[in-house]
């Protein structure tokens, strides 16, 4: 099979400007002043709606996963609280860290777990590779949070429209048909090899083949992590829960999958 290449798309960012006249600005300012009480009430409601939990107080994997999903709901609704982003929190973590969850996900710039789950500095430990592909070196990074820092939850997070999975799928499908893989200008032979089991596992699934491959890759990675030497005993003892999920770029929502 020919080496696979892939390159990023360059897009033009269109920006626009809008202006408002001085008289209109004055009217808006006066209106805001005249409805100060309502504005304050609305602000208080918004603050309540975006309140985030203190992750340090969460003990069980179920509590932590629920908190992550609640944070994701805030993110998807455009109501992120952005907790733990202040100088005081940063300073408090100088002497050490105690993340309550580890997240293994893709390098895609649109999938930042700290934003997707609306968490703060020190809440989660994140490892990222293209298509969250897995090898011995990566596995030691992923397992560090649970094994060394006692994080009771590990989340494997795939995502919609993953470029690496799409490229690997196209290359493997072309090889099956006896065709040459499209040359995109960036070699990914190791990633294609790593994703081959997911391609094979997804072949019998209905629906979009790339979506099926993304979910299959998450499920296979969850199983591999459960059996990893650093984690297997923790999983067997119930001290560690490993969860698989997929993130939608379109809706911003995270959906747990069976793994």
Instruction: Name the pLDDT band for 186 (thresholds 50, 70, 90).
Output: low
How far is it, in rounded angstroms, from Cα 203 to Cα 176?
A: 12
Sheet strands side by side (includes 124-129):
124-129, 101-106, 153-159, 241-247, 254-257
Which residues, 6+ apart, have CB-to-CB distance to 50 below 8 Å?
74, 79, 80, 81
Is 125 a member of any domain?
Answer: yes
pLDDT exceeds cutoff 50 at 119: yes
3-state helix, strand, coil in the chain (%, to 5): 50, 10, 40
CATH number for position 125: 3.40.1050.10
| Mean pLDDT of the region 176-190 | 73
| Mean pLDDT of the region 34-56 | 53
| Mean pLDDT of the region 45-57 | 65
Q: Which residue has the tokens 């733990």?
A: 84
Q: Which residues pair with 256 in a beta bridge?
A: 245
Q: Count the neighbouring beta carbons within 10 Å of the beta carbon of residue 115.
A: 15
Instruction: Name the pLDDT band for 9 (thresholds 50, 70, 90).
Output: very low
Alpha-carbon Rg for the chain, nearest whole angstrom, is 22
Which residues, 6+ apart, have CB-to-CB distance to 51 below 8 Å?
81
What is the longest distance spanned by two Cα atoms in the chain? 72
Is 28 a member of any domain?
Answer: no
Instruction: Name the pLDDT band for 181 (thresholds 50, 70, 90).
Output: low
| Mean pLDDT of the region 88-111 | 95
How far is it, in rounded angstroms, from Cα 80 to Cα 50?
A: 6
Instruction: Name the pLDDT band for 102 (thresholds 50, 70, 90).
Output: very high
Which residues, 6+ apart, have CB-to-CB distance to 31 below 8 Å?
none
Is 26 a member of any domain?
Answer: no
Q: Count the neighbouring beta carbons within 10 Å of the beta carbon of residue 87.
A: 7
* Structure confidence at residue 75 (pLDDT): 97
Parent domain of 105: 51-257
Is 203 a member of any domain?
Answer: yes
pLDDT exceeds cutoff 50 at 17: no
Average pLDDT, the chain: 83
| Mean pLDDT of the region 53-65 | 92
| Mean pLDDT of the region 147-164 | 96
Q: How many domains in the chain?
A: 1
Phi-psi region of 207 (alpha: psi -120 to 50; beta: other; left: phi over 0): left
Is 177 a member of any domain?
Answer: yes
Task: Indicate yes or no: pTM above 0.85.
Answer: no
pLDDT exceeds cutoff 60 at 20: no
* Structure confidence at residue 8 (pLDDT): 38
Is 132 a member of any domain?
Answer: yes
Is 94 a member of any domain?
Answer: yes
Does residue 168 or residue 177 have the better pLDDT?
168
Is 14 a member of any domain?
Answer: no
Take residue 109 and report the two structure tokens written for it: 């710039």
Q: Count the neighbouring beta carbons within 10 Å of the beta carbon of residue 159.
A: 22
């Amino acid at each position: 099979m020919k080496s696979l290449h892939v390159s990023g798309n360059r897009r033009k960012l269109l920006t626009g400007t809008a202006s408002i006249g001085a008289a209109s600005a004055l009217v808006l300012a006066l209106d805001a002043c005249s409805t100060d009480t309502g504005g304050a009430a609305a602000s208080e409601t918004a603050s309540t709606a975006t309140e985030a939990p203190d992750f340090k107080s969460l003990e069980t994997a179920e509590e932590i996963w629920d908190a992550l999903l609640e944070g994701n709901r805030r993110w998807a609704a455009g109501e992120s609280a952005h907790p733990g982003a202040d100088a005081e929190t940063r300073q408090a973590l100088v002497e050490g860290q105690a993340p309550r969850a580890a997240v293994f996900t893709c390098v895609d710039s649109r999938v930042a777990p700290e934003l997707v789950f609306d968490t703060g500095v020190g809440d989660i430990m994140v490892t990222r590779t293209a298509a969250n592909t897995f090898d011995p070196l990566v596995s030691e990074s992923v397992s560090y949070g649970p094994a060394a820092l006692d994080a009771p939850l590990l989340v494997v997070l795939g995502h919609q429209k993953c470029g690496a999975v799409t490229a690997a799928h196209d290359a493997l499908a072309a090889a099956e048909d006896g065709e040459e893989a499209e040359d995109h200008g960036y070699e990914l032979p190791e990633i294609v090899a790593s994703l081959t089991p997911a391609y094979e596992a997804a072949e019998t699934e209905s629906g979009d083949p790339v979506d099926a491959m993304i979910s299959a890759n998450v499920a296979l990675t969850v199983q591999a992590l459960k059996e990893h030497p650093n984690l297997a005993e923790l999983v067997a003892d119930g001290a560690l829960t490993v969860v698989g999920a997929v993130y939608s770029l379109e809706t911003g929502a995270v959906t747990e999958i069976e793994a």
